[in-house]
């Protein structure tokens, strides 16, 4: 059972050479299987999109009051959680208008606290 599960999950085989440390300790070589993580420094396409923890119903087209009310309702009145969620949105978005408005709304809730 364990071997079948491991072979399904394994993507690439990693083989490490044995070596000797300066103090004389011999480290044996090992071979193991691991999930392929892709190229170093490249985020997989599936993880490039922002997935909020709470659906806020926040839209840049809405008025300031509506945006803030919807965001606060989604976080059940918790101003700190609302501010952090809006700050997270401002940090990851590539749209300049969304970034600006989300930051303004986040600052509003941080100062209100």
pLDDT for 113 equals 63
* Residue 107 or residue 42, greater confidence: 107
**pTM, full prediction:** 0.60
Q: Output the average pLDDT for the chain.
A: 86
Q: If you count them, how many residues does the chain have?
A: 113
Confidence of residue 4 (pLDDT cuts 50, 70, 90): low
pLDDT for 1 equals 47
Q: Strand ranges (DSSP E) for 1-113?
A: 12-16, 19-20, 26-27, 30-34
User: What is the rounded CA–CA span in Å between residue 34 and residue 28?
Assistant: 19
| Residue range 11-18: mean pLDDT, rounded | 89
């Amino acid at each position: 059972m364990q071997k079948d599960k491991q072979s399904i999950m394994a993507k690439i085989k990693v083989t490490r050479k044995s070596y000797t440390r300066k103090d004389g300790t011999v480290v044996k070589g090992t071979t193991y299987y691991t999930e392929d993580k892709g190229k170093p420094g490249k985020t997989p396409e599936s993880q490039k999109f922002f997935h909020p923890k709470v659906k806020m119903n926040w839209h840049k087209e809405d008025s300031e009051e509506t945006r803030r009310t919807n965001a606060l309702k989604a976080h059940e009145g918790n101003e700190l959680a609302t501010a952090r969620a809006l700050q997270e949105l401002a940090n990851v978005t590539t749209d300049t208008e969304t970034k600006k408005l989300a930051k303004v709304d986040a600052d509003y809730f941080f100062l209100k606290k």
